[in-house]
A and B are shown apart, each in its own frame.
Chain A
Amino acid sequence: MNSLDLYMLGWSNIFSFWPLLLLFVGVIVGVIFGALPGLGATAGVAIVVPLTYGMDLNASLSLLLGIFCGAIFGGSISATLINIPGVPAAMMTVLEAYPLARAGKAGLVLAVSTISSFLGGIFSAIMLAFFAPLLASWALRFGPQEYFMVALLGISVIVLISGDSMPRALFAGFLGLLLATVGEEALRGFPRYAFGVTDLRVGLHFIPVSLGLYGMAQVFNYLIDEARSGQEPEIIRSLGKITLPFRRVLSLLWVVPRNAVIGTIVGALPGTGATIGAILSYGVEKRISRTPEAFGKGHLEAIVATETSNNATIGGAMIPLLALGIPGDATTAIILGAFILHGVAPGPTLFLQQPDLVSSIFVIILLANVIFLIVGLAGARIFPKLLSIPKNILMTIVALLCMVGAFSVHNNAFDIGTMVVFGVVGYLMRKAHIPIAPLLLTLILGPLLESNIQRAAIIDPTFIGFLTSPISLSILIAIIAMFAVPPIIQRYKSANALPVGEDKETTS
C-alpha cells in the first residue's frame, strides 16, 4: 500500500459518525479538564477509559487522544487567566502568559497559544506517521547516563528563570530537589522525610504542590491582603483586537520549528513528557533570544515555544507507544491499556502488520488539533469573559476547584492537605520574593536526576559511560554551551557596541 492509499484508509476509518463525534467530545472534555486546575490529560483519560470498553478501537482512540490533545492545550487557558497551570505542562506558560493577561492581552495570548499548540501537534503527528520506528529505536539508546544528562539540562534552566535574585532562585531549586526526595528512596525503599506518615511514603506529587504554590497561594493572598482592604480587584480583560502586525507573526512563526522538534524528541523518550518538553523549550528559547531580559515579564516568543513543544510531545509520546509498545508517561500508559483491552499489542510489528491503525491515529491527532484550533480561536475572546465574575466569588470557586483537582490525583484527601500546606509556603515565598517556578522545575526533574545517577552508578561505577556515549556527551556540550556561549556573545556585542532591542509587547 502506498502512502496515499494508507492515508485515505485512515481517513475513512475516522471519518464516520462515532469516531468523529467522540473525537469532538473528547477534545472539548480535554480542554475543560486541562483548564481545570489539577485535572489534566491523565485524569481525563483515566476517567473515560471505562466508557471505551464497549467501543471499537478507532472510536476509543478518537475519544482518548482527543482528550489528550485538548488537555495539554487547555492547561494554557487557566495559566493565562488565573495564573494557575491547569496541567503541569503549562508551568512555563504561566510565567509569561499571566503577565500579558494582566496587561490586557489575554485574548491575544490565548490565540497565540492555540496556534502554537496546533502547529506543534501537527508536526509531531507527521513525525509519528513517517518516522516513528526510526525515532523509537533512536530513543532506545537513551540509558541512565543519557536521562541524567537530560535532567541536568532541564535543571540548568533554573539559571535562566532566576529573575532578580540568583540565590533565591537557587534556594527554590534546592527546595524542589528536597521535596523530590521525600518518600521511598528508589534503590532500597527507605522512607525519607516521611515522619511515619504512610501517605508521605509515596512522596509529594507534582499536582497538589503546584496547585498549592500557584492556586492556594493566590487564594491566601486574596483573603489575607485584598479581601478587606477595599482594593479594586484586578480584572483580566481582553482589550482591543486580537491581531498582530504581519512581521511579528512571521517572527513568532520562526520560533515554532525548533520547539516542535524539541517537543517531539522529548515526547519520544519514555519517561519524559510534556512538562519537560516545555521546560527545555523555554530554556533554549531564552538562551537563543536576542532579548532575554523580556522573558518573565510577558513574552510571546516564550509562549509560542512552550506551547508548541508541549503539544508536540503528544505525537512524540505516541512514538514509543506504537513502535515499541512502551508507554512514555502516565497518560500513554492508560492508552496502552485501551489497546490491550482491544487485543492490539502495539510494537515493532504494528507498523508492518497494521499500518492502517497508525494511519488512523495520525488522522485522529490531526483532526483533534484542528478542532481545538477552532475552539481555541473562538474561545480566545470568550474565555476571558468568564472572569468577569466578581473576584470574591471567583476566588472561592477557584479554591474549590483546586481542592477537587488535588483530590483527583490519588482519590485521597491527603493531597488536599498537601496543597493547603504548599499554599502557605507559596504565600510566604511570594512575600520573600522567592520565585516558585524553579521549585516546580526541580520537583519534576529531581527524581529523574537521582534515580538515573543511581542506576548509572550501579551498572558502571566508573562513570566512563557519561563521556563515551555520544548522546550523553552532546547533551553535556549543550549544557556548557547554554552557560558559556551567551556571555561570550555579550562580550562580542558590547565590543561592537550593538544595541539590544526591547520587546514591544510589554510596553504597549
Chain B
Amino acid sequence: MTHDSKMTHDRVIGGLIVIFGLATGLMTIGWPAGYNSDSVILTTYFFPRMIAIGMVLCGAWIALRPEKRAMDLPFSSILKLAALAVFLLAVVHIARRDFFIAGLVFGTVSLWISRVGAIRSILYAFLISAVVFCVFRYAFSLQIPNEFVRLALNI
C-alpha cells in the first residue's frame, strides 16, 4: 500500500461521513416544529440538525486532514459481510416464530464456515441450540418462540 492510498482511505471515510451527516440532516426537513400551542425553543429537529452539522464537520476534518492509516477491507470481505447480514436477518425472521430452528440454522452455517465438517456442524448446532433454548425457556422462563418445534412434536 502506498502512502497516497492510505490517505485516500481517510478521504473516503471522511466523505462518506459528510454524506451521511447531510442525509440525516436533510431527513429532518418537513418535521413539525411543535404541536399547536407550544412556545418552546427546542423544536423536534433542533438536536438532529445540530448532530448532522457535527457529523459533517467531523467528516470534513477526517477528509481534509487524512492520517496514514490502512483500512484492511478487501472487496471480498464486504461481499461476505453483506451475505452474512442478509443470512442473519433471515435467521431473525425465523426466530420470530421458532428460536430453536433459527439457532440450528445459524449454528450449522456458522460452524461450517469455521471449518467444522458438515455433519458435525449440524450436530453441534443442534446441541447448542437445544441447550440454550431449554436453559432460557425453562430455567429462566424467557418466553422464546417455539412454534415449529411444537407443531412437529404436537405439543
Task: Identify the A interface with B (CB < 8 A).
Answer: 39, 47, 50, 164-165, 167-168, 170-171, 174-175, 177-178, 181, 185, 187-188, 190, 192-193, 216, 219-220, 222-225, 227-228, 391-393, 395-397, 399-401, 403-404, 407-408, 411, 413, 416-417, 420-421, 423-424, 427-428, 431-433, 450, 453-454, 457-458, 461
Q: Does B19 contact A (CB under 8 A)?
A: no
A400 touches which one: B24, B27, B103, B114 (CB < 8 A)? Answer: B103
Q: Given A171-B17, A399-B110, A413-B145, A461–B41 Cβ distance below 8 Å?
A: yes
Contact: A167 with B58, CB < 8 Å? Answer: yes
Q: Which of B19-46 contact A (CB under 8 A)?
A: 21, 24, 27-28, 31-32, 34-35, 38, 40-42, 44
Q: Does B55 contact A (CB under 8 A)?
A: yes
Q: Does B15 contact A (CB under 8 A)?
A: no
Q: Given A167-B61, A223-B84, A193–B55 Cβ distance below 8 Å?
A: no
A461 to B77, CA, bound (A): 52
Contact with A along B134-149 (1 / 0, CB 8 A): 0010001111110000
Instruction: Name the distance in Å between A45's Cβ and chain B's nearest Cβ.
Output: 12
Provide the residues of chain B in CB contact with A433, threshold 8 Å. Answer: 69, 71
Q: Given A431-B71, A433-B69, A457-B42, A404–B136 Cβ distance below 8 Å?
A: yes
> What are 9 A-to-B residue pairs whose CB atoms are below 8 Å?
A171-B62, A178-B24, A227-B114, A396-B110, A399-B110, A400-B128, A407-B99, A423-B85, A450-B47
Contact: A171 with B85, CB < 8 Å? Answer: no
Contact: B128 with A397, CB < 8 Å? Answer: yes
Q: Nearest B residue to A461 by beta-carbon distance?
A: B41
B142 touches which one: A47, A167, A227 (CB < 8 A)? Answer: A47
Provide the residues of chain A in CB contact with B28, threshold 8 Å. Answer: 192
Task: Identify the B interface with A (CB < 8 A).
Answer: 13, 17, 21, 24, 27-28, 31-32, 34-35, 38, 40-42, 44, 47-48, 51-52, 54-55, 58-59, 61-62, 65, 67, 69, 71-73, 77, 80-81, 84-85, 88-89, 92, 95-96, 99, 102-103, 106-107, 110-111, 113-116, 124-125, 128-129, 132, 136, 140-145
Q: A181-B47, A404-B99 are in contact. List 12 more A-B contacts (CB 8 A).
A: A47-B140, A170-B58, A181-B51, A220-B81, A227-B113, A228-B115, A392-B111, A393-B111, A403-B95, A416-B95, A431-B71, A461-B41
Contact: B85 with A400, CB < 8 Å? Answer: no
B42 touches which one: A219, A411, A432, A454 (CB < 8 A)? Answer: A454
Instruction: Name the distance in Å between B153's Cβ and chain A's nearest Cβ.
Output: 21
A345 to B60, CA, bound (A): 56
A403 to B132, CA, bound (A): 10
A395 to B99, CA, bound (A): 18
Instruction: Name the distance in Å between B46's Cβ and chain A's nearest Cβ.
Output: 9
B88 touches which one: A165, A190, A420 (CB < 8 A)? Answer: A420
A190 to B46, CA, bound (A): 13
Query: Once A and B bind, how many residue pairs between them come within 8 Å at the CB atom?
Result: 168
Instruction: Name the distance in Å between A447's Cβ and chain B's nearest Cβ.
Output: 10
Q: Given A167-B61, A170-B54, A407-B144, A192–B110 Cβ distance below 8 Å?
A: no
Q: Given A47-B140, A188-B44, A220–B84 Cβ distance below 8 Å?
A: yes
A458 to B55, CA, bound (A): 28
A427 to B72, CA, bound (A): 11
A404 to B135, CA, bound (A): 11
Identify the interface centre among A222, A228, A420: most chain B CB within 10 Å of its CB: A420
Provide the residues of chain B in CB contact with A396, threshold 8 Å. Answer: 106-107, 110-111, 114, 124-125, 128
Provide the residues of chain B in CB contact with A400, threshold 8 Å. Answer: 103, 106-107, 128-129, 132
A407 touches which one: B55, B59, B72, B95 (CB < 8 A)? Answer: B95
Contact: B54 with A47, CB < 8 Å? Answer: no
A458 to B43, CA, bound (A): 12
Contact: A417 with B92, CB < 8 Å? Answer: yes
Contact: A178 with B128, CB < 8 Å? Answer: no
Contact: A171 with B59, CB < 8 Å? Answer: yes
Provide the residues of chain B in CB contact with A403, threshold 8 Å. Answer: 92, 95, 99, 102-103, 106
A174 touches which one: B55, B65, B99, B113 (CB < 8 A)? Answer: B55
Instruction: Name the distance in Å between B32's Cβ and chain A's nearest Cβ.
Output: 6
Provide the residues of chain A in CB contact with B59, threshold 8 Å. Answer: 167, 171
Provide the residues of chain B in CB contact with A167, threshold 8 Å. Answer: 58-59, 61-62, 65
